[in-house]
Amino acid sequence: ETGVTQSPTHLIKTRGQQVTLRCSSQSGHNTVSWYQQALGQGPQFIFQYYREEENGRGNFPPRFSGLQFPNYSSELNVNALELDDSALYLCASSLVSQVNVLTFGAGSRLTVL
């Protein structure tokens, strides 16, 4: 098993900028989901992708968007960054046939100034 890797681990942006976070899913995992974890809080579901299509979304505005690629990698894009977007962004992958087995990456820590 290769696990889930995320990049970058830390980054700093300013308000209004755009950011792309990347995730390499565990080999063979065809479902990827993204979560936002604000400091001191539990992760909040952003969206999920299966076979390169979004199939579930949480209460996040459209400026949060994503992509999933055939090689099991994925991206989270956030436009027009706001201060409240500062958080740890977690990627999790799974097999659609094993919905209860999520493997999380270590996350990307985004700071918006």
Contact residues toward other proteins (CB under 8 A) are 4, 31, 33, 35, 40-45, 48, 50, 55-56, 58, 90, 92, 96, 99-102, 104-107
Q: Which is nearer to other proteins, 16 or 51 (CB)?
A: 51
User: Least distance from C-beta 96 to other proteins, angstroms?
Assistant: 5
| 72 neighbors 29 (Cβ within 8 angstroms) | yes
User: Least distance from C-beta 88 to other proteins, angstroms?
Assistant: 8
- Other Cβ atoms within 10 Å of 9 Cβ, number: 11
The span from the CA of 68 to the CA of 31, in Å, is: 9
- Other Cβ atoms within 10 Å of 80 Cβ, number: 11
User: Least distance from C-beta 78 to other proteins, angstroms?
Assistant: 19
Name the amino acid, one letter, at 40.
G
